């Protein structure tokens, strides 16, 4: 996630005319805050602004409901630089928002993302919003898959809400508004769009769904997000130093897509191809230090630079270097292998006990494997090479078993440290 909260998130929803809570930023005057409170039943909500997709602010006590300008200013002082412990470490706010209070007896959770299982977009709906989706039992949520060409349809949403026993007075307003979220998702290059909660505001007996918080993940290779004219800082907040270094190598030729998965992992996977990436990420789980896709026939210089960065950051932590991919159509296996193993020659002192597993197919495969073999023999690095006719899942399972064995026998295999 690169974006959370209404300071920037409301722009996406306003572009598709989805109702959002009235929002002021930290530069709002006392008069503006006073009017916001008056227009919303004598209350407003003050929240810290974190860069990146930071959640659980309410559970951490970082959301304040106030009823006067004085209380709002005091909350601003307390929350402007608030700190929050997240899975990636401690993050610090830089600003606040003042949001109009939306009274409601119901909260709805809605998200759109791409399913790696179904290979198409899905909308998830829960009629008990304001909670962690992971904590909701399956019978209380509906996951709607739909064709991206036709988009989400009203009957999809109607059926899901009826199955969830949604109060009848909420169904029509939600059916009218929720399809707009697909329009936003499809138009602005999103990977994930999550509204939690949507509060059902009663306006003279007519209910309106109002978005009160948002999280968004962008596909930065899709130019659609540029139409939103967001400041660059929102895309750097949850990018690590390692990811930033690799992203600098984005060129017209070859992929350089990486994501840190687990800094305590023990397998360093060099993955080629989107399908291989999905399979490897799922099978390796927490053992994988990174998720990567280095396909697209990268030139030697680019692949060498990527390898240098990966080894500088992660070789010391890894038990196994895994080079995995399907049978390539145009990626030159010799070029990519030469780059990877030339880098390994230079970096082997970082971790002389690394072991290597290779599973690959494609042009110049034999030449590439021979080169890799010769380098590893000279370095005295243990390795196992699988050809193009081997099962990718089988190679991944072998890698997991090898890693388990290394962990169990670590004290016995520190060959070069002992010598």
The CATH number of domain 22-101 is 3.30.1490.20: yes
pLDDT number for residue 208: 94
Count the Cβ atoms, other than its own, within 10 Å of residue 87.
Answer: 7
- Structural class in CATH, domain 240-418: alpha beta
Q: How far apart are CA 303 and CA 243, in angstroms?
A: 15
Helix/strand/coil percent split, the chain, to 5: 40, 25, 35
- Profile the chain (419 residues) by mean pLDDT over runs of 10 residues: 81 94 92 95 92 66 92 93 71 87 91 83 84 76 90 92 93 95 92 92 90 87 81 60 76 69 93 82 91 88 94 96 88 95 96 95 94 97 93 94 91 56
pLDDT tens column, 124-172: 999 876 566 667 788 888 999 998 888 899 999 999 999 999 999 999 9
pLDDT number for residue 132: 66
Q: Give the chain's count of helices (H) and strands (E).
A: 13, 19
pLDDT tens column, 313-345: 999 999 999 999 988 778 999 999 999 999 999
pLDDT number for residue 278: 78
At the second CATH level, the architecture of 1-21+102-238 is 2-Layer Sandwich (3.30)
pLDDT number for residue 417: 47
Residue with tokens 């010799």: 334
Residue ranges, CATH 3.30.470.20, the chain:
1-21+102-238
pLDDT number for residue 14: 94
The torsion angles phi and psi of 184, rounded to 5 degrees, stand at: -65, -45
CA 340 to chain centre: 27
Is residue 81 within 8 A of residue 30, CB to CB? The reply is no
Is residue 245 within 8 A of residue 309, CB to CB? The reply is yes
pLDDT number for residue 108: 92
Of 240, 283, 371, nearest to 356 by C-alpha is 371
First-to-final CA distance of the chain = 46
Per-residue 3-state assignment (H helix, E strand, C coil) for 252-310: CCCCCEEEECCCCCCEEEEEECHHHHHHHHHHHHHHECEEEECCCCCCHHHHHHHHHHH
Residue ranges, CATH 3.40.50.261, the chain:
240-418
Residue ranges, CATH 3.30.1490.20, the chain:
22-101
- DSSP conformation class of 141: E
């Amino acid at each position: 996630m690169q974006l959370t909260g209404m300071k920037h998130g409301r722009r996406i929803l306003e572009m598709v005319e989805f109702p959002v809570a009235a929002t002021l930023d930290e530069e709002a005057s006392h008069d503006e805050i006073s009017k916001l409170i008056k227009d919303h039943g004598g209350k407003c909500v003050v929240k810290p602004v974190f860069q990146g997709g930071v959640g659980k602010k309410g559970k951490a006590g970082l959301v304040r409901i106030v009823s006067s300008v004085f209380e709002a200013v005091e909350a601003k002082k307390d929350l402007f630089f608030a700190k929050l412990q997240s899975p990636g470490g401690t993050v610090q706010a830089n600003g606040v928002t003042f949001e109009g209070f939306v009274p409601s007896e119901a909260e709805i959770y809605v998200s759109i993302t791409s399913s790696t299982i179904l290979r198409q977009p899905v909308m998830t709906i829960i009629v008990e919003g304001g909670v962690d989706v992971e904590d909701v039992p399956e019978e209380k949520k509906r996951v709607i898959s739909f064709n991206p060409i036709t988009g989400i349809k009203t009957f999809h949403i109607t059926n899901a809400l009826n199955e969830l026993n949604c109060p009848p007075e909420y169904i029509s307003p939600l059916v009218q508004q929720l399809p707009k979220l697909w329009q936003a998702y499809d138009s602005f290059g999103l990977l994930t769009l999550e509204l939690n909660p949507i509060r059902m505001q009663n306006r003279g007996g007519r209910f309106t769904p109002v978005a009160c918080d948002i999280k968004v993940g962008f596909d930065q290779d899709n130019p659609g997000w540029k139409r939103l004219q967001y400041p660059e800082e929102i895309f750097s907040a949850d990018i690590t130093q390692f990811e930033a270094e690799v992203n600098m190598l984005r060129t017209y030729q070859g992929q350089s897509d990486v994501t840190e998965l687990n800094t305590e992992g023990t397998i360093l996977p060099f993955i080629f191809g989107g399908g291989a990436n999905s399979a490897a990420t799922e099978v390796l789980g927490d053992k994988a230090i990174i998720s990567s896709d280095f396909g697209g026939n990268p030139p030697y210089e680019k692949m060498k630079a990527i390898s240098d960065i990966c080894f500088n950051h992660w070789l010391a932590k890894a038990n196994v270097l895994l080079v995995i991919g399907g049978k390539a159509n145009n990626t030159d296996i010799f070029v990519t292998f030469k780059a990877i193993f030339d880098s390994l020659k230079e970096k082997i002192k970082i971790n002389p006990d690394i072991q290597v597993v290779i599973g690959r197919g494609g042009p110049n495969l034999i030449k590439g494997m021979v080169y890799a073999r010769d380098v590893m023999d000279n370095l005295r690095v243990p390795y196992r090479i699988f050809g193009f006719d081997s099962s990718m899942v089988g190679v991944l399972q072998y890698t997991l078993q090898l890693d388990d064995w290394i962990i169990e026998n670590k004290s016995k295999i520190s060959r070069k440290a002992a010598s």
